[in-house]
Chains A and B, each alone.
Chain A
Amino acid sequence: MSYKTDLPVMLPVKPRALEPFKSLKKRHILLIAFLTIVGPSLVFAQTGEFEKSPLAILLDWTPLLLSGFLFNLVISFGAMALGTFVGGLLGLGQVSLFAPTRASSWLVTQFFRNAPWLVLLFFAMFLLPFELNIFGFKLPLPDWFKAILGLSLPVMANVSEIVRGAVRSLPSGQWEAAESLAYTRRQTLWLIILPQCVKRMLPPWMNLYSILTMATVLASIVGVSEVMTLTGRALAAEGGRTDLLAPFYGLVLVLFFIYCYPIARFTVWLEHKFSVIN
């Protein structure tokens, strides 16, 4: 005979709260900025009178790099929107009662989840044509659009998993109550299950967005003109000086940090807010 223990044998794993400082953000940015940009710039500051210091050169290029970064954000929005839409459908397919739908959705999800993001990006870049012929109308597919399509594939798979996880995490009592009220399956899903799932899906979805934003730099490997390619070109234009490497790459790090760290903090706050209600 096996017993359920009277007392928990181990505590449930609680999501960790970050140490609560208000000024953490500024401190970190200052620290990183110092380490990566100002530090090496100062170290190499003993250049000749006619040469500009690395920091000055970096500041010259900053507007261009910022525009590149904005392009990264555009790619991230595009891929997130597309991936969420298709992934949502796929996730619903995974909870379908119709076995072939369920099996094929599951298979597609697993297939694209297990693939590295860079490989999927290559996949999209190389295998999609450079222009589409629709009813005789030529639609050019620029590089960045193909990058959006490529990056939306892993997003789709992850969103599908998030949706499936959220739907399954709801107590079965919800389904039973709806059934006893004579709701059809579709009504149950749309009116009862999914509204409750939105809360649970939000933190992992935001986390996914953060990961996606950081993955947009992969597009530089396949030739899309975003912040990393521009950085590479800027460095080449400056003559490939080794003392510029740290400041320039440091700037890119700082840009992403400034964008992604608040998202991370917001996500943690969301998690705590929703776990209290649940």
Chain B
Amino acid sequence: MDFIFEWFRTLYSETGVNLPFIYDEYDRKRMAEGLLTTIWLSLICLFFSIIIGVIGAWLQGSSLKWTRRIVNGYIQLFRNTPPLVQLYFFYFAIGTLLPRVENDWGGTSPMLGSFAWAAISLSFFAGAFNVEIFRSGIEAVPKSTVEAAEALGFSRLQIYRDITLPLAFRVVIPAMNNNLVNLVKTTTLAYAIAVPEMLYEANQIWSDNVNVTEMMIFLLLAYFVLVGVLVAGMNKWERAMKIPGFG
């Protein structure tokens, strides 16, 4: 592996194309950590945003007027305000209101760190879109199919688990794809509160090495590949889940 790294070092000395995150061990580690943080943040937000979406969709079908209004209010609020401002609000406004805990060095630090707040904020942001998506998925399951299950003796919970959710899920996969891609792109906002994800680490590297152009191009390519892999994976999954004969 070392000769690959050396090749990039010579590339720098010969052409001036500086890619320190390949040939320099420290930068390499930083970049890898950044990539992992981005992936990890995306996965956490995806997981929680789906949970929020499912719960929200279920609450939106409630017979209580105020439950529905509160859920609708949440959706409209998070969809019509900038996610960055939501992030700042969570991190600065709410974060400073929370009690501080003692840290290892005898001082106090905030209870939730920047990564946690980024995860919380982005999960609620993506969750707001998911509620709409899941609701339309549930409504796409024909009432008569549910009735047939009822006539066979299935209980409400069994119907929801075996019939409604699997069918609704297949309907919403394309929209979920879109959401997931947007989620990965939105994780870059965490840069603003110093979460060490890919953009932040790239920034650190170009601050040290003054190679903005190379880092920028690398970032664009990296996100292109990351999102591309994700989209390909989701498409494959969508094909596997496809109901033969339908659509």
Q: Do chains A and B touch in the complex (CB under 8 A)?
A: yes
Taking Cβ atoms with an 8 Å cutoff, the residues of A that contact B are 2-3, 5, 8-16, 18-19, 24, 27-28, 31-32, 36, 40, 110-111, 114-120, 122-123, 126-127, 210, 214-218, 220-221, 228, 242, 245-246, 249-250, 252-253, 256-257, 260-261, 264
Q: Is the Cβ of B185 less than 8 Å from the Cβ of A117?
A: yes
Q: How many residues of B contact A (CB 8 A)?
A: 54
Closest to B145 in A: A10
Q: Is the Cβ of B139 less than 8 Å from the Cβ of A14?
A: yes
Q: Is the Cβ of B224 less than 8 Å from the Cβ of A115?
A: yes
The 9 closest A-B pairs by CB, nearest first: A214-B82, A116-B185, A114-B227, A246-B93, A260-B80, A116-B188, A245-B93, A118-B188, A242-B96
Closest to B84 in A: A217
Chain B residues with Cβ below 8 Å from A215 are 82
Q: Is the Cβ of A5 less than 8 Å from the Cβ of B245?
A: yes
Q: Tell me how far the C-beta of A155 lies from the nearest C-beta in chain B, rounded to whole angstroms.
A: 14
Prevailing SS type, chain A contact patch = helix
Q: Tell me how far the C-beta of A183 lies from the nearest C-beta in chain B, rounded to whole angstroms.
A: 33
Closest to B68 in A: A19
Chain A residues with Cβ below 8 Å from B86 are 253
Residue among B97, B145, B181, B199 making CB contact with A119, cutoff 8 Å: B199
Chain B residues with Cβ below 8 Å from A36 are 89, 93
Chain B residues with Cβ below 8 Å from A115 are 185, 220, 223-224
| Chain B 149-188 per-residue mask, 1 if CB under 8 angstroms from chain A, else 0 | 0000000000000000001000100000000010011111
Interface-central residue, A18, A40, A245, A256, by most chain B CB under 10 Å: A245
Closest to A72 in B: B82
Q: Tell me how far the C-beta of B142 lies from the nearest C-beta in chain A, rounded to whole angstroms.
A: 5
Chain B residues with Cβ below 8 Å from A24 are 72, 76
Given contacts A11-B139, A18-B72, 14 further A-B contacts (CB under 8 A): A3-B245, A10-B246, A11-B140, A13-B136, A16-B132, A19-B72, A40-B93, A114-B185, A114-B223, A118-B188, A118-B189, A217-B84, A245-B93, A246-B94
Q: Is the Cβ of B92 less than 8 Å from the Cβ of A10?
A: no
Task: Please measure, in the bound complex, the distance between the C-alpha atom of A217 and the C-alpha atom of B212, giving whole angstroms.
Answer: 22
Known: A115-B220, A250-B89. Contact between A261 and B80, CB under 8 A?
Answer: yes
Q: Tell me how far the C-beta of A266 lies from the nearest C-beta in chain B, rounded to whole angstroms.
A: 12
Q: Tell me how far the C-beta of A244 lies from the nearest C-beta in chain B, rounded to whole angstroms.
A: 9
Residue among B81, B97, B199 making CB contact with A260, cutoff 8 Å: B81
Closest to B77 in A: A32
Q: Is the Cβ of B76 less than 8 Å from the Cβ of A261?
A: yes
Q: Tell me how far the C-beta of A260 lies from the nearest C-beta in chain B, rounded to whole angstroms.
A: 4
Q: Is the Cβ of A127 less than 8 Å from the Cβ of B212?
A: yes
Q: Is the Cβ of A214 less than 8 Å from the Cβ of B167?
A: no
Task: Please measure, in the bound complex, the distance between the C-alpha atom of A42 and the C-alpha atom of B181, giving whole angstroms.
Answer: 40
Chain B residues with Cβ below 8 Å from A250 are 89, 93
Q: Is the Cβ of A253 less than 8 Å from the Cβ of B81?
A: yes
Q: Tell me how far the C-beta of B5 lies from the nearest C-beta in chain A, rounded to whole angstroms.
A: 25
Q: Is the Cβ of A252 less than 8 Å from the Cβ of B85?
A: yes
Q: 16 A-B residue contacts at CB 8 Å? A: A10-B171, A11-B141, A12-B140, A16-B135, A40-B93, A40-B97, A114-B223, A116-B188, A118-B188, A126-B212, A126-B213, A214-B83, A220-B84, A245-B96, A250-B89, A264-B79
